[in-house]
Copies of this chain bind each other. A is one copy, B any other.
Amino acid sequence: MKINKHYSEISESYLFSTVAKKQREFSAAHPDREIIRLSIGDVTLPLAGAVVKAMHDAVDEMSTKEGFHGYGPEQGYEFLKESIRNYYAGHGVELAADEIFISDGAKSDLGNILDLFDKDNTVLVTDPVYPVYVDTNVMAGRKILYAPATQENGFLPMPDPAVKADIIYLCSPNNPTGAVYTREQLAQWVEYAKAQNAIILFDAAYECFVTEEGLARSIFEVPGAKECAIEFCSFSKIAGFTGTRCGYTVVPMALEREGVSLNKMWLRRQTTKFNGVPYVVQKGAAAVFTPEGMAEIQENLNYYRRNAQVIAQTLEECGIWYCGGKNSPYLWLKCPGGMTSWEFFDWLLDKAGVVGTPGSGFGSCGEGYFRLTAFGDAEKTKVAAQRLKEALKTL
């Protein structure tokens, strides 16, 4: 018996556990101080009424012999795939229902998709990066290259034709930086991928935050992307499904490598290693796209957008460089006073009782930067922004 030796090559991330530990220690030392967390990527608003009603109705169906649903299609029910197809059509992307696969979340599929690729492929990720892209490939023993995302390139690295890559991860709106690619920028990535015979794995989990004209919500807004990209999306951010678990992956029919359809491979993977998403959850997810659901969802998204504005305004008033926050729930700021990411973490906790996430935890190019999120409570976010402003006066 030989174990997968690559597991020992994954570097342990202590980012969020260290954040939690420092927070605990601070609370213990200062029991009177109220801490406000702007560190988490988790939502805080409850499920929308339309979703709640649809889930109740579905639970009731499951309680009768006539309405009971056993095994469903591994790739998801047609009613949900059809809703997603219409949602994409709404921003100008035509998909076939068979190109959409319902999953229990983008994180699962981002990891599992690697089953389709040989170990001997070079992976290109940005730095800073969502750690899952790196860890899932280290586990499989693949070589990883980094494209630096910096203040100079607006944290939106562009392809370097001199770099050879087979699998390219792009996340836009970006976690952690909140930077968003335009359609024209993505077109350059598509061109590069085609020239390299590479595949782009496009993480669109935060697409619902995009409002600005010209920014892409889907890589399939770019002509030709269907021949070189797979897109991952989720109900986690659009509809607060972080604890309800539903996402989807789009594998175009036109995507082939070595004469083989990637869509057919993924269908085979999912029918063999997956048994679909709960009927009750799929019914809840479909309700997101009803007129009532969409209206409620937009209210919730606007709530988070206002939080982002509150933080952004404060950063601007204080003259702190940042990106994100406009078409993204994340704000990525340059630590003031030349502080490192962890120095600013400690300073902000001490002076303002606010917890954020050190940028260096997402990669070496994140050093000196810091992530704040707009997913918190509105009143607390206002208090946090005010405290940040006051603290910065003392710097």
User: Which A residues form the contact surface with B (CB < 8 A)?
Assistant: 1-5, 7-8, 10, 42-47, 49, 52, 55-56, 59-60, 62-65, 67-72, 104-105, 107-108, 111-112, 115-118, 120-121, 132, 135-136, 139, 166-167, 196-199, 240, 242-245, 257-258, 260, 262, 265, 268-269, 272-281
Contacts and interface: CB of A to CB of B under 8 A. Distances in A.
Nearest to A12: B268
A63 B52 CA distance: 6
Nearest to A246: B278
Contacts of A244: 62, 278-280
Given A47-B63, A279-B244, A2 B104 contact: no
A326 B388 CA distance: 69
Nearest to A266: B7
Contact of A62 (B47, B59, B116, B257): B47
Contact of A277 (B3, B44, B245): B245
B63 A49 contact: yes
A74 to B, nearest CB: 9
B70 A243 contact: yes
Contacts of A275: 104-105, 107-108, 242, 245
Contacts of A272: 10, 111, 132, 135-136, 139
A104 B102 CA distance: 14
B3 A265 contact: yes
A269 B108 CA distance: 10
A127 B169 CA distance: 41
Contacts of A65: 44-46
Nearest to A120: B2
Find the residue from A7, A70, A71 having the highest chain B CB count within 10 A: A70
Contacts of A64: 46
Nearest to A242: B70
A304 B139 CA distance: 43
B117 A2 contact: yes
Nearest to A279: B243
Contacts of A70: 42-44, 240, 242-243
CB-CB nearest 8 A-B residue pairs: A111-B273, A2-B118, A42-B70, A69-B243, A70-B242, A52-B63, A1-B166, A46-B68
B104 A104 contact: yes
Nearest to A199: B1
A241 to B, nearest CB: 9
A8 B260 contact: yes
A63 B47 CA distance: 5
Nearest to A264: B7
A136 B49 CA distance: 40
Contact of A68 (B1, B10, B44): B44
Contacts of A105: 275
Given A55-B59, A70-B240, 19 more contacts: A1-B166, A2-B117, A3-B265, A4-B118, A7-B269, A59-B59, A68-B240, A70-B243, A71-B243, A104-B275, A104-B277, A105-B275, A107-B273, A107-B275, A112-B273, A115-B139, A139-B272, A245-B276, A278-B278
